[in-house]
Amino acid sequence: MDRRIFLAGALSALGACGAASDCQTSVDSVKNQTARPKIRWKLITSWPKNFPGLGLAPEHFARWVSLMTSGEFEIKVYGAGEIVPALEVFDTVSQGTVQMGHSAAYYWKGKLPAAPFFTSVPFGLNAQEMNGWFHYGNARELWQELYAPYNLIPFVGGNTGVQMAGWFNKEIRSLEDIQGLKMRIPGLAGEVWKRLGGTPVTLPGGELFMALQTGVIDATEWVGPYNDLAFGFYKVAKHYYYPGWHEPGPSLEFIVNQKAYESLPKDFQNIIEMAARAANQDMLDEYTARNDAALVELIETHKVDLQALPNDVLQALRKISEEVVLETAQTSPLARKIFDSFKQYQQGVQAYHAVSEQAYLNARG
């Protein structure tokens, strides 16, 4: 239709013009009238500006959107605190103050108890399994249903792979060492930590180093060696524990204000989805490539004490995690639907991975 309108206008202009220069001017005028206006959006995040991995994902996303639209759709990325604090991304995009955000769904647990299912469940799905649930299970539809009352459309926006259990200012030898321990640990894992006798604290990434240094917290989980090295946690805590029971496959999110999204041309909507999916895979690729060298540096250069959590601690964490996840499923009919979908998918994928991924890793040694 746009092409027909343009051709009709151009022919009319040509019929009315005289000299060649006049004709070109007339055609250019019609072309300018039918061209789409350029779109300019703002994207806020929960991460420091250009922070490795987490903070670079929205930057890559914005660049790819611009490239795929030949500059017709430009998105400016803002780090945590530049427009709003890190943990106000959800509300700010919901209200339409900005068009987009990049964060993690488990930060909204107080508002939406089922939201952590779309970031990470303790002892749940790893990154590969989460991507399968989102893209070939029904997670995306359930996620959209959960966010719809808040005028938000979610897209998967990155994954770090299995994280580390965290940094501690003392050794963890038994369950007794956790009693009263103040740890930055969000989402469902925070409730698990509380029931185990610890004190969970929710803080944005940019505040963690100072909080650990000043004793506001005794321990913190963040991501893994690549990001933890960048934050310099080794300067204020020497005990580094694994495995990341709390975040085995943490998915991040791009959230888009529904009204802003629906105002876009259909091709731009498709580009947002494809750019988000590319950013999701790119982040996992980067962490897979960078974590090993970062861990070597932490151990060999900075003399970090790397240890596995004791078996009795892991067993207690797993038992309590099952209780917390099941209780979360009872918070609403939709939460139950999400839980049922998650568990059914997990059971199936674990059965297959027992004879594929896990079997191969055991054989490889």
DSSP sequence for 328-359? HHTS-HHHHHHHHHHHHHHHHHHHHHHTTHHH
The verdict on residue 118 lying in a domain is yes
Range of the domain at 129: 39-159+249-288
| Range 52-70 average pLDDT | 97
For residue range 195-212, list pLDDT tens digits in order: 999 999 999 999 999 999
Categorize the per-residue pLDDT at 220 as very low, low, confident or very high, splitting at 50, 70 and 90.
Answer: very high
What percentage of residues in the chain have a pLDDT greater than 90? Answer: 90
Confidence check: pLDDT of 11 > 70: no
Give the strand pairing for 166-168 and 219-220: antiparallel
Q: Quick one: tokens of 344? A: 């059914």
Measured from the Cβ of residue 188, the count of other Cβ atoms closer than 10 Å reads: 25
Query: pLDDT averaged over the chain?
Result: 92
**Could you identify the residue written with the tokens 């909080």?**
211
Q: Residue 100 falls within a domain, yes or no?
A: yes
Residue 363 has pLDDT above 70, yes or no: yes
pLDDT of residue 34: 54
CB 74 within 8 A of CB 41: yes
Question: Taking residues 117-123, what's their average pLDDT?
Answer: 98
Degrees, nearest 5: CA angle 52-56-57:
125
The mean pLDDT of 139-157, rounded to a whole number, is 98
The pair of three-digit structure tokens given for residue 52, joined into one six-digit string: 């490795």
* Cα angle, residue 22 at apex, residues 17 and 25 outer, rounded to 5°: 115
For position 14, what pLDDT does the model report?
Answer: 41
Q: What are the structure tokens assigned to 72, written together?
A: 């017709």
Statement: residue 16 has pLDDT above 70: no
pTM: 0.88
Q: What's the pLDDT band for 65 if we cut at 50, 70, 90? A: very high
pLDDT tier for residue 36 given thresholds of 50, 70 and 90: confident
pLDDT band at 318, cuts 50/70/90? very high
Taking the CA atoms of residue 120, residue 123, residue 127 and residue 132 in that order, the dihedral angle to the nearest 10 degrees is: -90
Structural domains of the chain, count: 1
Residue at 180 is within a domain: no
Which range is least confidently modeled, 13-17, 119-123, 197-201? 13-17
Q: Is residue 105 part of a domain?
A: yes
- Phi, psi (deg, nearest 5) at residue 61: -55, -50
Place of tokens 């779109």: 39
When pLDDT is cut at 50, 70 and 90, the band that residue 12 belongs to is: very low
Whether 236 is in a domain gets the answer: no
SS (H, E, C) 6-64: HHHHHHHHHHHCCCHHHHHHHHHHHHHHHCCCCEEEEEEECCCCCCCCCCHHHHHHHHH
214 within some domain:
no
What band does 38 get if pLDDT is binned at 50, 70 and 90?
A: very high
Among 8, 356, 54, which Cα is nearest to 230's? Answer: 54
Contact 269, 40 (CB under 8 A): no
Please give the average per-residue pLDDT across 157-180, as a whole number. 97
| Residue 181 maps to a domain | no
Crossing angle of helices 333-354 and 311-329, in 10° steps, is 140
Q: What is the pLDDT of residue 13?
A: 44
**How confident is the model at residue 6, as a pLDDT?**
44
The closest of 157, 99, 150 to 282, measured between CA atoms, is 157
Asked whether residue 68 is domain-assigned, the answer is yes
pLDDT of 205: 92
> What's the pLDDT score for residue 360?
97
Q: What is the pLDDT of residues 284-315, one digit of tens each?
A: 999 999 999 999 999 999 999 999 999 999 99
Instruction: Read off the CATH number of the domain in which 129 is found.
Output: 3.40.190.170
How many angstroms separate the CA atoms of 19 and 160, rounded?
63
